[in-house]
Amino acid sequence: MMKFDFHCHSHFSDGQLSPVELVDYALEREIELLALTDHDTVDGIAVAQKYINKLTLSSGKFNFQLAAGVEISALTDFGEVHVVGLNIDSENQDLLLALKTQQGKRWQRAEKIDQQLGKLGVTGVLQECEKQVVQVITRSHIAKAIVSLGHAKDMQQAFKKYIGKKGRIKVSKGWMSLEQAISLIHEAGGISILAHPTRYPLSNKKLSLLIENFKLAGGQAMEMAYPSLNKDKRDWLKIHLDKNQLLASSGSDFHYSGLKWSDLGRFPVLDGQIPHVIHQMFPENSLIG
Ligand code: AMP
Ligand code: MN
Ligand code: MN
Ligand code: MN
């Protein structure tokens, strides 16, 4: 069966690998279709595509296709959610402008976090981040900075103590609305997907309302296969997928190599009967689940 992955990150956001290294890793993992979906940027796509074109020129035809994607942070009545856009035009001007605005908001949030951390005696975080960030600053960079400054033993602890949902740092987020994220993706010719629905801290009742709102806002698909999603939860999501007539998508949300339970191209295979975005994106692959 053809291997694909519709959700992963490069160092343009909080992934470990550069787009070139990511393509090499995908080839090593025998992935044939990869969507690069960095947080709030599409700028890694051209870098990856240029490298693929070079490989094609030097080695002739080979089986690898890159899909342009993005993972947009958006605000809803139920808090922050992530919307993946797949098969977008990564040169769409409205999209690029909105992502630039969002990247600016991310720097503003990082400054606020840095100030609050300073008051707790954790100083120099922003400066430390500036050394690592390629383009988009995320809480992963901040967590890494907290660790390297010696204020947490690992990133997990940095989230727990400081910048995670229950951490001491509280800052407001200025992300775009769900409606805007969805319409930007559609205007750029892409498919809109609600990312990892079970990872939001919501009761089942609220999650079902979120999925309904996503559909009402024009959303087209929902992730149904990712590493932390167990079968019971997937069965629950399937009911809401059907009810709202959404397509399914699959992706590893790969950030780093070396984790056993999470790797590029690794997620449960869905039942081939479930309508999947892959059928819409690549009709020639319509038999792939
Ligand atoms: P941001 O979009 O800047 O708020 O950063 C969120 C990113 O931080 C996510 O995409 C994850 O990659 C990472 N993240 C969030 N929570 C945790 C956590 N508890 N442990 C490790 N990484 C996390
Ligand atoms: Mn991330
Ligand atoms: Mn996400
Ligand atoms: Mn992600």
Nearest-atom index, ligand 1, CA of 138: 3
pLDDT band at residue 59 under the 50/70/90 scheme = confident
- pLDDT single digits (tens) 197-221: 999 999 999 999 999 999 999 999 9
Asked if 4-98+174-281 and 109-163 have one fold, the answer is: no
Is residue 289 pLDDT above 50, yes or no? no
Sorted by where each begins, the domain ranges of the chain are 4-98+174-281, 109-163
Q: Share the mean pLDDT of the chain.
A: 95
For the CA of 173, the nearest atom of ligand 1: 4
Mapped onto helix, strand or coil, the DSSP state of residue 201 is coil
Give the residues surrounding ligand 1 with Cβ less than 6 Å away: 14, 39, 73, 138-140, 155-156, 159, 164, 255
Please state the rounded mean pLDDT for residues 67-80. Answer: 98
% of the chain with per-residue pLDDT over 70: 97
H or E segment and range at residue 81: strand 79-86
Residue 287 pLDDT exceeds 50? no
Q: Residues 6, 26: contact at Cβ < 8 Å?
A: no
| Fold (CATH) for 109-163 | DNA polymerase; domain 1 (1.10.150)
Nearest CA to ligand 1 atom 21: 156
Please say if the pLDDT value at position 261 is more than 90.
no
Q: For position 269, what pLDDT does the model report? A: 93
Task: Read off the pLDDT of residues 80-138 as tens digits, 9 standing for 90 and up.
Answer: 999 999 999 999 999 999 999 999 999 999 999 999 999 999 999 999 999 999 999 99
| pLDDT of 8 | 98
Q: What is the pLDDT of residue 285?
A: 53
Tokens 């020129």 correspond to what residue? 57
H or E segment and range at residue 48:
helix 43-59
- Taken in order 204, 69, 64, 260, is the CA torsion positive or negative? negative
Question: Which ligand 1 atom is at minimum distance from the Cα of 73?
Answer: 2
* CATH for 4-98+174-281, options being 3.30.56.10, 3.20.20.140, 3.10.420.10, 1.20.1300.10: 3.20.20.140
pLDDT attached to residue 181: 98
